[in-house]
């Protein structure tokens, strides 16, 4: 699959779907972004176009490259438009019944050889795959947020995933310039097993007054060399999503390090979700999901 232009459907135009759509068009794939919400779709398309414009402004892409990438994207709220897809990447809300239903509906729209990728963070890939009449085509592909900036994708097979689907997925990841690691269909895969407890411990350090938002981010940048501090990252992830992922992993793993600190609940209750609401740990002048 590497090197060939593909037609990719991205389901869900939120934080992850819009980020994944940027990855697809930058790699030269025709991309159809699908959402059930007209408003969500419009916002997702704005995010993709804004990111590409900003990349051109910063000299990371030429103006022509940005225009070519933008021309590869179309948006739709009609599932029937996903018919020609070679690959479907699902990034809808983290709800098992919803994800199963979406894959079941897609079975009737796309070819039997279309690959189904699920970006679930906490659900079983096998469980999501059971929504499709062809679970052998379903592979877990867990993109790191922000998807356009982070290279890693975790690849997890469900119980019935066929080897052709895994191999095609790994080749596809190469076409995207991603680094893939194969992991098991287990709660948290690899990354969230360490990332969620680490993020929680940074929030606890803040709540204990060990530092400020800025000083803890600075300490992380200057010590362990992460590309961004925990609070900048959490503002991109979204506190509602962090709360949901941390709670679900706690429920499955029964390890208290995953349990979200009280500050998370207060931020969610007050609507301070991060970049998407314009305020989280930091204040933003807009509600753009991420910068270039
Ligand atoms: N935010 C993160 O850091 C992160 C990281 C990795 C994986 N994930 C996973 O990615 C998925 C999406 O998370 P997000 O943070 O982008 O959520 P989000 O709330 O930002 O976006 C979800 C989008 O899905 C849309 N949607 C709902 N039902 C739909 C349907 N039937 N068909 C099409 N679209 C539908 C919603 O309108 C919304 O635009 C979840 O499974 C989440 O666990 C999130």
pLDDT in tens, 6-26: 999 999 999 999 999 999 999
- How big, in percent rounded to 5, are the helix, strand and coil portions of the chain? 50, 15, 35
Examine the pLDDT at 1 and tell me if it is beyond 90: no
CB 16 near ligand 1, within 6 Å: yes
- The dihedral region occupied by 279, where left means phi > 0, alpha psi between -120 and 50, and beta the remainder, is beta
pLDDT above 90 as % of the chain: 95
pLDDT in tens, 42-76: 999 999 999 999 999 999 999 999 999 999 999 99
pLDDT score at 201: 97
Averaged pLDDT for residues 188-206? 98
Q: Does the C-beta of 92 come closer than 6 Å to ligand 1?
A: yes
- C-alpha of residue 91 to centroid of ligand 1, in Å: 5
Determine which one of 145, 154, 175, 242 is catalytic. Answer: 154
142 in active site: yes
Instruction: Inform me whether the pLDDT recorded for 88 exceeds 70.
Output: yes
Residue 94 corresponds to which tokens in the numbers above?
């983290």
pLDDT in tens, 133-176: 999 999 999 999 999 999 999 999 999 999 999 999 999 999 99
Report CA 114 to chain centroid distance, whole Å. Answer: 20
For residue 212, count other CB atoms closer than 10 A to its CB.
Answer: 12
pLDDT reported for residue 287: 85
One of 121, 130, 145, 157 is an active-site residue; which one?
121
Q: Is the CB of 140 under 6 A from ligand 1?
A: no
Helix segments in 141-212, DSSP class H: 163-175, 191-207
pLDDT surpassing 50 at residue 217: yes
At 292 the pLDDT is 53
Can the peptide bond before residue 146 be classed as cis, meaning omega within 30 degrees of 0? Answer: yes
Q: What pLDDT was estimated at residue 188?
A: 97
Fold of 7-183: Rossmann fold (3.40.50)
**Ligand 1, atom 3, residue with closest C-alpha:** 237
Burial annotation 4-29 (CB, 10 A radius, 16+ → b, else e): eebbbbbbbbbbbbbbbbbbbbbbbb
CATH architecture, domain defined by 191-277: Orthogonal Bundle (1.10)
- Does the Cβ of 238 fall within 6 Å of ligand 1? yes
120 CB near ligand 1 (under 6 Å): yes
3-state secondary structure of 251: helix
Catalytic residue among 18, 29, 130, 142: 142
pLDDT surpasses 50 at 124? yes
Looking at residue 238, its pLDDT comes to 96
Ligand 1 atom nearest to CA at 98: 31
For the chain, what is the mean pLDDT? 96
> Does residue 216 have a pLDDT over 60?
yes
Question: Annotated catalytic, 154?
Answer: yes
Tokens standing for residue 257: 């390090």
In the annotation, is 54 catalytic? no
- Domain residue ranges in the chain: 7-183, 191-277
Task: Please state the φ and ψ torsions of residue 157, each to the nearest 5 degrees.
Answer: -80, 145
Question: Ligand 1, closest atom to CA 18?
Answer: 16
Rounded to an integer, what distance in angstroms lies between the CA atom of residue 74 and that of residue 137?
A: 25
The share of the chain scoring above pLDDT 70, in percent, equals 98
- pLDDT surpasses 50 at 2: no
d(CA 114, CA 75): 19
* Ligand 1 touching residue 36 (CB < 6 A): yes
Say how many Å lie between the CA of residue 112 and the centre of ligand 1.
Answer: 25
Longest dimension (CA), the chain: 56
List, in order, residues 6 or more apart from 152 with CB less than 8 Å away. Answer: 144, 178, 179, 180, 181, 191
Q: Region 105-120: what's the mean pLDDT? A: 98
Q: How far is the CA of 243 from the centre of ligand 1 (A)?
A: 14
């Amino acid at each position: 699959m590497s090197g060939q232009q593909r037609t990719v459907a991205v389901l869900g135009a939120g934080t992850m779907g819009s980020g994944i759509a940027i990855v697809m068009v930058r790699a030269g794939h025709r991309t159809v972004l699908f959402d059930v919400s007209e408003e969500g779709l419009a916002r997702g398309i704005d995010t993709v176009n804004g990111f590409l414009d900003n990349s051109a402004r910063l000299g990371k892409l030429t103006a022509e490259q940005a225009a070519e990438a933008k021309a590869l994207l179309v948006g739709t709220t009609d599932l029937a438009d996903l018919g020609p897809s070679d690959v479907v990447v699902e990034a809808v809300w983290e709800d098992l019944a919803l994800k199963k239903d979406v894959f079941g509906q897609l079975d009737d729209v796309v070819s039997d050889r279309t690959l189904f990728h699920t970006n679930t963070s906490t659900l079983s890939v096998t469980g999501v795959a059971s929504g499709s009449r062809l679970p052998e085509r379903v592979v877990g592909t867990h993109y790191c947020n922000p998807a356009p900036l982070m290279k890693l994708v975790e690849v997890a097979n469900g119980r019935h995933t066929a080897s052709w689907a895994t191999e095609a997925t790994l080749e596809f990841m190469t076409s995207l310039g991603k680094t893939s690691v194969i992991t098991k269909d287990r709660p948290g895969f690899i990354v969230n097993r360490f990332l969620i407890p680490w993020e929680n411990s940074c929030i606890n350090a803040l709540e204990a007054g060990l530092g400020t938002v800025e000083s803890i981010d600075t300490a992380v940048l200057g010590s362990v060399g992460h590309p961004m501090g925990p609070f900048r990252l959490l503002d991109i992830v979204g506190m509602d999503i962090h709360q949901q992922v941390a709670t679900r992993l706690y429920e499955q793993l029964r390890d208290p390090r995953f349990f979200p600190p009280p500050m998370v609940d207060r931020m969610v209750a007050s609507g301070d979700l991060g970049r998407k609401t314009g305020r989280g740990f930091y204040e933003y002048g807009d509600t753009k999901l991420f910068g270039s």
